[in-house]
Amino acid sequence: MRHIYKKIIINYIQTTLCPSIIKDYALSNNFNITDSESIIIYNFIKSNYLFILNGEENKLLLLKNQLRPELYQEIIKLYQYYKKKFSL
């Protein structure tokens, strides 16, 4: 099942994901991000999603100095939540 989740995530990132989707997702989860932050997150995801999906969590540290500390912590929480939920 884990393999199927990864395929779905990869397809979504490659075909659909964009900065406005990231910003809308943040707003729907009750935190605001700027347009520039959504672009930073988007670029990070596009460059690192295969590493992250394969368990290289240390790549998330690349975001730490680029984002506000509270936003970075929120991303870590979301990552941990989805990692557990989908057993990635």
pLDDT tens digits, one per residue of 2-58: 788 889 999 999 999 999 999 999 999 888 999 999 999 999 999 999 999 988 999
Q: What is the pLDDT of residue 86?
A: 76
pTM for this prediction: 0.90
- Quick one: pLDDT band at residue 88, thresholds 50, 70, 90? low
Predicted confidence (pLDDT) at residue 72 exceeds the cutoff of 70? yes
Distance between CA 69 and CA 15 in Å, rounded?
29
Counted domains in the chain: 1
Domain extent at residue 36: 2-86
User: What is the spatial distance between Cα 9 and Cα 51, in angstroms, rounded to a whole number?
Assistant: 13
Residue 87: what pLDDT? 72
